[in-house]
C-alpha cells in the first residue's frame, strides 16, 4: 500500500493504515510542517472528510497553507510505528525544465530527509505520476535510488470513481 504527499488525513487514519503489513509513504518534503506545532488528534471512530491530493496541493501553492499535510512530529510517529518512507520530490514538481532543476529539487529533498529524519530513502514515487527517463537516470546513477513508482499505482479517488471501493 502506498500513500503520496504526506497528507494529514494519512496521519488521522494511521490507526487503520498501520494494520496493513507493508505501507510506504512517499513524502514531498517541502510540504511537511517543521515549525514545531505538535501532533493533532487522530481518528476515534468518526469518519472525517479531508481535501484530496490535488486540492491540498492547490491550496498550498495558492496560500502557503500546510495544514493539509503532516507535521514533522506526526511523520516521525508513523515512522516509529512501522511506516516506510519514500521520496516524492521536494517541491512536488510535475515536470522539470532541465537537469539542473532536477538536481536542485533532489538535493533539497535529500538534505531535508537527512536533517529532519536522519534517513536516505531509496524509493521514489514520481509527482503527479509523471515519470521521466532523465529524472530516473539521475536518481539511480547519481543518488542511489533503487525503486521507482509511477502510473501503476491507483489513487484512492480513482478507486472510488471506478467502483472498486
Tell me the three cell numbers of residue 21.
Answer: 503489513
The model's pLDDT over 64-105, given as tens digits with 9 standing for 90+, comes to 999 999 999 999 999 999 999 999 988 877 666 678 888 898
CA atoms within 13 A on the CB side of 135: 25
- For the CA atoms of the chain, what is the radius of gyration? 15
The model's pLDDT over 140-160, given as tens digits with 9 standing for 90+, comes to 999 999 998 876 665 444 444
Smallest CA-to-CA distance from 143 within 97, 119, 107 is with 107
Tell me the three cell numbers of residue 43.
Answer: 481518528
Smallest CA-to-CA distance from 84 within 152, 10, 159, 150 is with 10
Domains delineated in the chain: 2-41+48-161 (3.20.20.370)
Q: How many other β-carbons are positioned within 10 Å of the β-carbon of residue 85?
A: 18
User: Residue 20 and residue 1: Cα distance in Å, rounded?
Assistant: 8
Amino acid at each position: 500500500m502506498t500513500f503520496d504527499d504526506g497528507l494529514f488525513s494519512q496521519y488521522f487514519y494511521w490507526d487503520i493504515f498501520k494494520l496493513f503489513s507493508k505501507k510506504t509513504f512517499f513524502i514531498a518534503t517541502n510540504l511537511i510542517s517543521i515549525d514545531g506545532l505538535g501532533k493533532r488528534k487522530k481518528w476515534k471512530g468518526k469518519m472525517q472528510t479531508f481535501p484530496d491530493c490535488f486540492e491540498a496541493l492547490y491550496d498550498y501553492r495558492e496560500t502557503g497553507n500546510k495544514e493539509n499535510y503532516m507535521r514533522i512530529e506526526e511523520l516521525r510517529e508513523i515512522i516509529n510505528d512501522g511506516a516506510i518512507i519514500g521520496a516524492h520530490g521536494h517541491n512536488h514538481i510535475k515536470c522539470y525544465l532541465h537537469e539542473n532543476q532536477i538536481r536542485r529539487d533532489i538535493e533539497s529533498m535529500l538534505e531535508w530527509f537527512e536533517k529532519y529524519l536522519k534517513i536516505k530513502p531509496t524509493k521514489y514515487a514520481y509527482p503527479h505520476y509523471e515519470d521521466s527517463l532523465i529524472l530516473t537516470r539521475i536518481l539511480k546513477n547519481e543518488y542511489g535510488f533503487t525503486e521507482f513508482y509511477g502510473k501503476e499505482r491507483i489513487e484512492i479517488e480513482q478507486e472510488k470513481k471506478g467502483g472498486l471501493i
